Homo-oligomer: A and B are copies of this chain.
Amino acid sequence: MTQSFPTPAAHARDLLDTLGVPARPADAGQAVRSPIDGSILTHVAFDDAREIEAKVAAARRAFDAWRVVPAPRRGELVRLFGEELRAAKADLAALVTLEAGKIASEAAGEVQEMIDICDFAVGLSRQLHGLTIASERPGHAMRETWHPLGPVAVISAFNFPVAVWAWNACLALVCGDPVIWKPSEKTPLTALATHAILQRALARFGDAPEGLASVVQGGRDAGERLARDPRIPLVSATGSTRMGKALAPVVAERFGRSILELGGNNAMIVTPSADLSLALRAIVFSAAGTAGQRCTSLRRLIVHESLVDKVSDAVDTAFQRLPVGDPREGKTLLGPLIDRAAYEAFVAAMDAVRTEGGTVSGGERLLADQWPEAFYVRPALARLPAPAPCMQRETFAPLLHVVPYAEFDEAVAIQNDVPQGLSSCVMTNDVREAEAFLSAAGSDCGIANVNIGPSGAEIGGAFGGEKETGGGRESGSDSWKQYMRRQTATVNYSGALPLAQGVRFDL
C-alpha cells in the first residue's frame, strides 16, 4: 500500500528551500508538527509584542503610500503574484499536504483557488466601481467613491492554511490596503512559503512600500493584539465560533470592522426525486473530504423517510471503502485529522450521539500502530431517529449525522434549526423544492446549493454565512467593498446654494 516518501521534516525543508524560505536555526520557538505522522517539521519563533508593533506600524506607513498608487497598478502586483503562484503551485501544495494533512488533489485545489482569486482581483483593480448619482439640486453632481481603508489583519485557520489568506490579501492589496497575516499556529510554514512567493512578486513589481505585507507568527494573544489595534480598521478572522465571539466585541468597541468566517453545521436534504448516485458522491466527498475539516463539510444529512435507510447504508458502505492513509499517496482520499485534540472531539461527538439515542458506524482510529501521534480515522455515520442536541454543534471531523424527514417544509425547518448558518444544500430534481429551498422561506444559510454538496465554493460568489457563522463575506460578488471606505460626495458647481428637501434658510 505504501509508496516511499522522505520524512516529513526532510520533505518540508526541501520544499521551503525551493520556495525560498530562508532556513532558521533548529529547535528555536514553537514546534510545528506534521499531522501525517505527528513528527516535528521544524520550529517557528512567535512574534513578541515589539515585533507585532513594528509590523503594524510599518503597515500603517505603507498605507499612506499604497493608497495613492493607482488601483490598476496595484492589480499588477497581484497579477505578478498569480504568476509566481502558478510557478510554485506543486511545491506549495506539497507543503500544504505536509503541514495540514490534505490529500494532494485538495492541496492543489487550494493553491488553484489562490491563483483564481489573483485573476479575479486583477480584473477588479479596474472595477472598484462607485456610483454617479443624479442630484435633486440644479448645478450639483453627486458621486460615491470607494477609497482604500487601511491595514487589514487576516487571521486564518489551519484547514485552509493559504487560500483564505489569499482571498483576503488579493482583494485587500488591490483595494489599497496593506495586509498583516496571523496564520494558525498549526500551519506557520505554508504562511512563510506564501510570503516568500509574494516577496518575489514584490521584487518584480519594484516600488511597493515596505511593510505592505507581513506575517505575524503567534497564538491567540497575537490575534487579540491585532483585534484591539485601532490602526487596523478591518480584521478578517476565520476560525471557531468561540474565537469569533471573543474577537468581535473587541473590534466593535473600537469601531473596527470584522469579517468573520466561523463555524458551519452544514446540512443536505435528500428528497425522493434526487439522483441518488449523484447524491452519494456529493455526500461522501463533502462529509469525508479534507477529513471533515472544512468549514463547509457536510455534517447533517436530512433524508426523506422513504430513502433514509437506503441512503444511510450506501454512505456507510462508501465510508468503509474510502482509502485512508498518508495524504501524499496518490490513492488516498482521506488523510489525517490535524491533531489529538481533533480526534478527541471526534470521539466525544460520537459518544454524544450514542447518549442521545443514535447509533454510530465507522469512526475507528486507523494506523495508530504505525503512527501513534497521527490521527487517522474511518469516517463515522451517526443515525438518529430525529434531530437531537448533538446535532447543534460543529465537530471538525468526518462525522455525519442522518435524520429522516416526512414533509419538505419539515426538512427545511430541521436544516435551519441550528445556531450556525454557513452552507446547505438539497438534492432534488423537483423545481418546486429546489426554488423553495433557495427562497426567502428556504435555507437560512449564506450558501445554498442544489444538486451539489455544501462545500467547494467558487471564488466568483460571496463566501460566508449567517448567524453564528459570523455574517462575513469573502471572495467574489461585491465582497471587496468591505476592504474600502465609501465616500459620498456632492459638488456644487452652480453659483447658488439650494438646500436638500427644499429647506429654506435665507440670511
Contact = CB atoms under 8 A, between A and B. Distances in A.
A141 B116 CA distance: 18
Contacts of A121: 123
Interface in A469-493: 469-471, 473, 476-478, 485-493
B255 A252 contact: no
Interface stretch (A298-306, A341-349, A395-403, A431-439): A431-439
Contact of A493 (B131, B432, B447, B456): B432
A269 to B, nearest CB: 13
A463 interface: yes
Given A110-B501, A132-B129, A477 B488 contact: yes
Interface stretch (A68-76, A207-215, A362-370, A380-388): A68-76
Interface string A106-141: 101110110010011111111111111111111111
Assembly stoichiometry (copies): 4
Contacts of A248: 249, 252-253, 255
Contact of A134 (B72, B260, B278, B285): B72
A146 B126 CA distance: 19
B141 A134 contact: no
Contacts of A441: 64, 67-68
A26 interface: no
A244 interface: yes
Contacts of A432: 429, 493-495
Nearest to A479: B486
A322 B507 CA distance: 7
B499 A285 contact: yes
Interface string A423-466: 00000111110111011110111111111100011111111001
A333 interface: yes
Contacts of A487: 438, 443, 445-448
Contacts of A449: 489-492
Contacts of A110: 501
A134 B491 contact: no
B278 A497 contact: yes
Contacts of A476: 126, 133
A452 B492 contact: yes
B488 A438 contact: no
A486 B462 contact: yes
Contacts of A459: 126
Contacts of A157: none
B458 A113 contact: no
A486 to B, nearest CB: 6
Contact of A71 (B134, B262, B501): B134
A204 B245 CA distance: 44
B505 A133 contact: no
A505 B136 contact: no
Name the interface size band of chain A: 35 or more
B431 A468 contact: no
Nearest to A445: B487
Contacts of A431: 428-431, 434, 450-451, 491, 493
A55 interface: no
A142 interface: yes
Interface in A59-86: 64, 67-73, 75, 79
Nearest to A488: B461
Interface string A140-182: 1111111110000000000000000000000000001000000
Contact of A450 (B126, B429, B492): B492
A497 B129 CA distance: 24
A67 to B, nearest CB: 5
Interface in A278-294: 278, 280-282, 284-285, 289
28 contacts: A68-B440, A75-B119, A105-B504, A109-B499, A122-B123, A126-B460, A127-B134, A129-B131, A131-B132, A132-B143, A133-B460, A143-B143, A147-B439, A249-B252, A252-B258, A278-B495, A285-B505, A322-B507, A430-B430, A431-B491, A431-B493, A434-B491, A434-B493, A450-B489, A450-B492, A451-B491, A452-B492, A457-B488
Given A141-B438, A142-B461, A252-B258, 12 more contacts: A68-B138, A70-B134, A70-B135, A112-B502, A257-B471, A429-B432, A449-B491, A451-B492, A452-B492, A457-B488, A463-B488, A477-B486
Interface of A: 64, 67-73, 75, 79, 105-106, 108-110, 112-113, 116, 119-148, 176, 233, 244-245, 248-253, 255, 257-258, 260, 262, 275, 278, 280-282, 284-285, 289, 318, 321-322, 333, 428-432, 434-436, 438-441, 443-452, 456-463, 466-471, 473, 476-478, 485-497, 499-505, 507
- The list of the 7 closest CB pairs from A to B, nearest first, reads A123-B123, A249-B249, A435-B493, A71-B134, A252-B252, A109-B503, A130-B132
